[in-house]
Structure 1
């Protein structure tokens, strides 16, 4: 309830901030669409599809998306857009509250993962589902860890851009197909590699790689569950350490944007080493593309499982 009230207040203030410039925003289509995206994977895929035809921006760049809430300026930026693209209600729950008012303001809103089938969250049996919890949060949003699903999302975004800008629909489709081909080739390359690895089980900071694991026939155990902000209980910590020993897991994969304290604790207790993967939930600090960073993740995983 408090979050809803906070978002409503931000919404009212954002409307005041954006009001003066809102009236003429649709005319920007002549110079290209003004597109706002929620976080890095959505931004990167949209930018690949759009090319340089449009102004593509993201409102979240530095921190993890799980605990992110848009600021007043973020909401104002969304209201100034021609098109707002987010990943899913599962991940950006705040977008659901904005949706009705955005439609009234003639901002086109698109849920990029709507054509994908999200898997239910598993491995959190000790966390009760209580009254008032949004059922959407019971689904795993991390589809961007799987290159094949990222390619599917690119096609969906291209179709939406084509609706907003019919004159360039063919170009968006061409760009999306090129992105998907590169992503599919990446998946084929690593399908062969992961088929040869000795160990099929890996442990990560949180379950950000379930779709990648599913794609390549691997098994992932996330220390912190679906969100890196949730710490395991003492009992869970003991169970994870027992799991690491039982499956002879040699590497604990921490994340490049999360404190690795718990991962290091488990590694020390079990004799495993620490390596880093990027959940790609925030803009990378390197100059590599989204798919290049995805390749780095898969190569790191492969090298430690073979």
Structure 2
């Protein structure tokens, strides 16, 4: 009986060892293949844009520097793990416009690393790098990413160009929806609780009556509350655009004093890694804006 149990034990060990060897061989070969061209993006909206270009391109690895719930990169501090990741990268795709305030450190540490600025010639608003919030300007970012990857990875050029064409078509459909709404609400007023919404105001032709840029560290004064209420009274049909995470408390305060409509809109800097997340997020923003302004 002891011999029988001993044999079974040896057999299980042998099976486990064989499985381990096979797994190690598979993972090793997969990683080796992926390492041919290694793409790193700075944060969520850049990852989603790049994901729609990279797709299943042969031999390409795409990864994101920050976690998908990080949000904007204004105050982001690079970690040792980030630097290690960038040391392996062939290209680093960034939004640009100053939102990644650590770029000089990256360029100094890795002078041979190619940095692809997605916002080049995209038409940034002054001192406002949230350009992905404009569908029209985000299309330019996608084009920049696609063309940059085509130059750096010639072997996948045709594939990238096909991916670019397909994704731009989807974005163009969103843009057409926006233009239809713009024709009905252009010139109306909005009050912004986040600087990212300046791009929405531009896309829809809205008048920005007042801006109060809120984030996790922003302390709102009584005077600023009074200014918002005054702006609402002077623009009685204005809609407040706010991010629910940081703007809900202020919105509730204002609603107690006025009958203002509040539209909680996604700034599209957080989410899962679904390739359609930008499309679905912006589609929901469009629906909410239509509802807030009474567009049928």
Shorter-chain TM band: 0.7 to 0.9
Is residue 2:57 matched to residue 1:57?
no
Cα distance, 1:286 vs. partner?
8.4
Deviation at 1:185, TM superposition (A): 2.2
Q: Give the stretch that moved more between structures: 31-40 or 76-85.
A: 31-40
Whole-angstrom CA distance in 1 between matches of 2:182 and 2:291: 10
Look up the match of 2:113. 107
CA gap of 1:275–1:286, structure 2 versus 1, over 3 A, is farther
Contact 2:35 2:61 in 1 (8 A): no
Shift of 1:49: 0.9
The number of residue pairs the alignment matches comes to 260
Aligned counterpart, 1:9: none
Match of 2:181 in 1: 193
Tell me if the contact between 1:250 and 1:271 (Cα under 8 Å) persists in the aligned partners. no
Three-state SS of the structure 1 residue aligned to 2:241 is: strand
- Tell me the residue number matched to 2:83: 75
Does residue 151 of the first structure (1) align with residue 139 of the second (2)? yes
The answer to whether the Cα contact below 8 Å between 2:189 and 2:238 also exists between their aligned partners in 1 is no
The partner residue of 2:257 within 244, 264, 269 is 269
Which position in structure 1 is the counterpart of 2:39?
35
Aligned residue in 2 for 1:209: 197
Q: By how many angstroms is 1:82 displaced?
A: 1.7
Cα distance in structure 2, aligned partners of 1:287 and 1:177: 15
Correspondent of 1:303 among 281, 291, 296: 291
Q: Deviations over 1:131-176 (max 9, x none)?
A: xxxxxxxx11111111111111111101111122101112212211
Q: RMSD in angstroms over aligned alpha carbons?
A: 2.6
Show CA shifts across 1:283-302 (max 9, x none). Answer: 35989521121111122112
Q: TM-score of the superposition, structure 2-length normalised?
A: 0.78
1:47 pairs, out of 48, 51, 55, with: 51
Shift of 1:282: 2.1
Where 1:257 maps in the other structure, the secondary structure is: helix
**What is the CA–CA distance in structure 2 between the aligned matches of 1:77 and 1:245, rounded to whole Å?**
51
Rg larger in structure:
2
Q: d(CA) in 1 for partners of 2:271 and 2:76?
A: 14
How far did 1:32 drift?
Answer: 4.7
Q: Indicate yes or no: 2:95 matched with 1:91.
A: no
Identify unmatched segments of 5+ residues in structure 1. Answer: 1-26, 121-138
Instruction: Output one character per residue of 1:177-215: Cα deviation in whole Å (capped at 9) or x when no partner.
Output: 222222122111221123213872222321212122112
- Report the TM-score when normalising by structure 1: 0.76
Structure 2 unaligned residues grouped into runs of 5+: 1-30
Matched, 1:117 2:105: no
Q: Which range is displaced more, 53-62 or 161-170?
A: 53-62
Secondary structure of 1:258's match?
Answer: helix
